[in-house]
Chains A and B, each alone.
Chain A
């Protein structure tokens, strides 16, 4: 009965199938990302700074994770783009859950570590090349290391919970983008971004309306007003809401993604 939904042997075959069918596409995608990261780092190292410290790497690392992640996740399930390839996808002899998991692994679980490895290689490559050639300017480029990045996590040092909140929010956005890739068939990247913007806008509007209803004296115009208080210990109610939102959203978004995929018709 359970094998209707998941069978390790069949899943391994499906995963291999996906790799063999799409290795060119995956390879080109990773190569393109590698070239873009390398190019960006190389030219910035070359042009702007005499001293390229670890803090200079950080914006690039964050942008790489954001843009790389958006690209990878919103283009998941490429076979749903039209009826012809959707037919092949739906007819593959595997469960919907297995098909879902193949994309989940490739686009999220394996992609982000791979992206970090690519960034590390590109950073060292760019540093090596810039340092190797004796350019007119005397540049001092710091070694890029994830250990150092972790040790200088200024943004969360004040409160350790902020790290979990950040991870939770990141996971929520990842889940949202993954769900979007199952809802939309064509132009997924743009549609997911627009959809995301729309959801945020509706959320803000809803909060504005609630603010006007419950705090009419304190709210003016397009403003969100909240009553902030300590709900337990040093944790504020707004923080608790943010933690719950960040940690629980994916529990709704990922099953919704699965459901949308399961109900697809040609």
Chain B
């Protein structure tokens, strides 16, 4: 689906954001794109969407080059940006105007998701709260059935019930031939729905792995204390003791703690992951 080879990019008068970045992503997954502030997550999404052109290297999405912005490419890629704006029209007018531009648009799916998000189609988009507008944009993005959905901080501005609703709706709305790439800092919001993790730091890819491969190898536990004989690979102090990454014993798996994993990776903890890029 996405193939990035030797990508180099920097903003004008700034140091290199990416240098020789390589990345391959296949369809049929929800991938979390993580990184520190300024690591280039949003920039990477924009380059995959064709909004920014790489200075060197190649990006290919489903065999197409994003920077050409051919209509067939744009009809199969939907970006939900962190910031967005709508004209002063109702949801139904927006849908009437925009749905026809997407050949695989599913009106029933849109109605279902809008119902779940409790959005009134007669309401003017500019009279809705930021969170409501974001929910509408997510609903619209899902209904386009685009093969590639790029979500930049999708849970920013959503209230707590909406965040859980977002997870439910996302998982139930996507097909096996779609790839959802989510860039976020709110790792807890997507922890249970992603099946692949990509971490970028200092312009390099430092981790790309399926989450099941991580949980197969490591446990994420809260412990009252961390001692040497526990063979903890990484630990952090938390309320009630320590959050620690331990090697999996007897095949006993735990839920993944992405925040802990992220901190372990950026602090160079000795994790041994098959797809871990050194």
Contacts and interface: CB of A to CB of B under 8 A. Distances in A.
Contact of B96 (A20, A87, A92): A20
A91 B85 contact: no
Contact of A266 (B46, B72, B96): B46
B100 A4 contact: no
Contacts of A101: none
A265 B72 contact: no
Contacts of A87: 46, 51, 79, 81, 84
A95 B49 CA distance: 14
A142 interface: no
Interface string A1-37: 0011001001001101101111011000000000000
Contacts of B49: 91
A39 interface: no
Contacts of B69: 90, 95-96
A266 B97 contact: no
Interface residues of B, number: 30
Interface in B51-94: 51-53, 69-72, 74-75, 77-79, 81, 83-85, 87-89, 93-94
Interface in A212-226: none
Nearest to A87: B81
A interface, size bucket: 20 to 34
B102 interface: yes
Contacts of A83: 83
B153 to A, nearest CB: 14
Contacts of B94: 21
B101 interface: yes
A16 B70 CA distance: 20
B51 A90 contact: yes
B186 interface: no
A95 B100 contact: no
B100 A94 contact: no
B143 to A, nearest CB: 14
A14 B71 CA distance: 11
B98 interface: yes
A235 interface: no
Given A20-B96, A91-B78, A92-B74, A13 B85 contact: no
A255 interface: no
A185 B83 CA distance: 18
B203 interface: no
A226 B97 CA distance: 56
Interface string A36-77: 000000000000000000000000000000000000000000
Interface in B30-53: 46, 49-53
B53 A265 contact: yes
B100 to A, nearest CB: 5
A27 B85 CA distance: 20
A91 B78 CA distance: 8
A247 B183 CA distance: 51
A14 B96 CA distance: 12
27 contacts: A3-B71, A4-B70, A10-B71, A13-B100, A14-B101, A16-B97, A17-B98, A17-B101, A20-B89, A20-B93, A20-B96, A20-B97, A21-B94, A21-B97, A83-B83, A84-B83, A87-B46, A90-B50, A90-B51, A90-B69, A93-B74, A94-B101, A95-B69, A95-B70, A96-B69, A266-B46, A266-B51
Interface of B: 46, 49-53, 69-72, 74-75, 77-79, 81, 83-85, 87-89, 93-94, 96-98, 100-102
Closest A-B pairs by Cβ, 10 of them: A20-B97, A93-B75, A93-B74, A266-B51, A17-B97, A13-B100, A93-B101, A84-B85, A4-B70, A84-B83
